[in-house]
Chain A
Amino acid sequence: MGRLNEKVSYWMLVAPALTIMIVFYILPVLGIWEIAFTEPTTGVDNFVKMAESSAVKTSFVLTFRVAAITTVGCLLLGYIVAYSISNFANKFTPLMLALVILPFWVSVLIRSFSWIVLLGRSGLVNDTLRDAGIIESPLRLMHNEFGVLIAMIHVMLPFAILPMMTNMRGISDAYVKAARGLGASEWTAFWNVYFPQTIPGVMSGALLVFVLSLGFYVTPALLGGGRVLMISEYITYQIQEFLNWGLGSALSVGLLIATALVLLIASRFINLRSALLERK
């Protein structure tokens, strides 16, 4: 096989996926960019409007806040799960792994609806609490940021667990043993020896959850009930309710740039290539 042949076969392998990406993703995105700059008039009017609108600002701040809290929540809960699965090898490991992956088999829509069943005014949680006599009138558990956060953390949790677990499974137990053998308490061994080695996993989990949360639509829309307007829902409103394609497109351009900025900033601190691709 000559060099040329190798090159040809490389492109032949890449071509199908690349074509699909270009036709169904890159071109439509470029179309959105075009609309953002041309509807209703050519220029940067939409972006000026966006920058001046306090509603847009509120929505962006809300989006970043929800994404940040979701990320922190997922990391805290996910770290414990990943740690348990990776470090306590026993017969339940396959089951626990299955439980982490199982939610992927159920659509996000259904998972979010289940939260409505649980958290609604006369949902399972409120009914149980009222029947138990703990509360008199139902708590507001959804159609607010709290409800969105609970459901978001639930939906995003596997994305935090999986990279952290991959990372932790690669860490030999010899390190903690060595630390204990050298005089460190269980906590010191964990904090000074084990934890620093899991930071790459934590970072890639954080990045994955944060970036996914920024553009998340279904869960905030359902659990927020129109009161927690994250940016993707805001865009939908602009386009569906007000037929304001220009502003809607400008907002998605804004979200895309914001997400790119997050990745750019993250790449200054962590090696994205190893965090997202190699997961080690």
Chain B
Amino acid sequence: MSTPILSIRQGIKRYGSVHALDDVTLDVADGEFLTLLGPSGSGKTTLLSAIAGFIRLDEGSISLRSKDITKQPPEARDFGMVFQGYALFPTMTVAENVAFPLKVRKKPAKEIADRVAECLDLVQMGDFADRLPIQLSGGQQQRVALARALSFHPQVLLLDEPLSALDKKLRADLQWELKALHDRLGVTFIYVTHDQEEALSMSDRIVILKDGKIQQEGAPGDLYNKPRNAFVADFLGKSNFIDVTVTGREGDVLSCAADGAKFEVETDAPLEVGTKTKVALRPERLRLAEPGEEFLSAKVKQVSYLGERCQVIVTHDSLGELLLSCATWKTGITPKPDLPVSIGWDKDACVLLAPE
């Protein structure tokens, strides 16, 4: 990574005895779309608030382009921010809202008017300049909030669950738009969400938080395919977890055994023979076949049809229940409760998780 635009070093924030942020160190690259992902209470919003300057870290530092901003008030930081409920000023029109950051920066009136028009066009809200926020739909308010946050060419745009109040279809549309906007403007986005789909679809990089600690960070595909621990494997998509014991190593391939099944995992993790750990298997990487065709025999317990996919729960004598996700358009067997089947997977489908 070249010089990061924003760096957080050993950030700690305590509320009583709870660590809302626990030794968080993070670099954000210039122009990146970075998502802070985690369940509620994970510290993602606290981290964003600390970056924005609404809360002060107890320990650690934040720097913007190598300049320490840890103690700066929010208005000195020059970050754009889009809030969860948009926080459009109800007494101002759409245009006045977008003009607000420019007015407080004492820009000339002509420049303000031009920039407001430009920003509203950017989010296709040019026709609504004279409306009050209350006269707009949720999606429209969201666009105005975006225009307002971008109007003063902020160094970084902070977004706090900006889509969470919208219905599913609109949310999907706006995800595309946000991503396109990011690519077009080249502004650094720091995006907070608890929605893993949102995180996967838009981000260049995802930081997964839990209990104030960074669990793992990386590109969406890397996190999805190579989760480091059970939390990441379960939070990002679904996973089947199997307790295993390491039985041997041959080059990069580690063999593990569970009660009644063997797994081979490619890893460079230095695990000794006899170590107890977990492997994760994605439901969509499991194959469903006639009995005997694959290496694990099981019985279908339940089937849930979801349109383009169907989810199947099978039971194995010693491994217990496993979740499978199969494309419904594929020819092959039609899973039904109590149907005996066999399941298998490719070698690279198994992910070894760090022992706890």
Chain A positions near chain B (C-beta within 8 angstroms)? 172, 174-175, 177-186, 188, 192-193, 196-197
Contacts and interface: CB of A to CB of B under 8 A. Distances in A.
B85 A174 contact: yes
A183 B75 contact: yes
Contact of A177 (B83, B101, B149): B83
Contacts of B75: 180-185
B104 A181 contact: no
List the 8 closest A-B pairs by CB distance, nearest first: A178-B87, A181-B81, A196-B91, A174-B87, A182-B101, A180-B74, A184-B104, A183-B104
Given A174-B84, A182-B152, 15 more contacts: A172-B87, A175-B89, A177-B54, A178-B81, A180-B54, A181-B75, A182-B80, A182-B101, A182-B104, A182-B148, A183-B105, A185-B104, A192-B89, A192-B100, A193-B89
A28 B317 CA distance: 90
Contacts, number: 66
A192 B158 CA distance: 22
A181 B152 contact: no
Contacts of A184: 75, 100-101, 104
Contacts of B158: 181
B90 interface: yes
A81 B30 CA distance: 45
A202 to B, nearest CB: 13
Classify chain B: how many residues form its interface, as a range. 20 to 34
15 contacts: A172-B87, A174-B87, A177-B54, A177-B87, A180-B73, A181-B53, A181-B80, A182-B75, A182-B148, A183-B152, A184-B100, A185-B75, A193-B100, A196-B91, A197-B90
A178 B83 contact: yes
Contacts of B101: 182-184
Contacts of A174: 83-85, 87
Contacts of A179: 89, 100, 104
B196 to A, nearest CB: 25
Given A180-B73, A183-B152, A188 B87 contact: no
B79 interface: yes
Contacts of B149: 182
B52 interface: yes
Contact of A197 (B54, B91, B100, B105): B91
A176 to B, nearest CB: 9
B74 A181 contact: yes
A90 B101 CA distance: 31
Interface string B176-189: 00000000000000
Nearest to B79: A181
A89 to B, nearest CB: 14
Most buried by A among B79, B85, B100: B100
B192 to A, nearest CB: 14
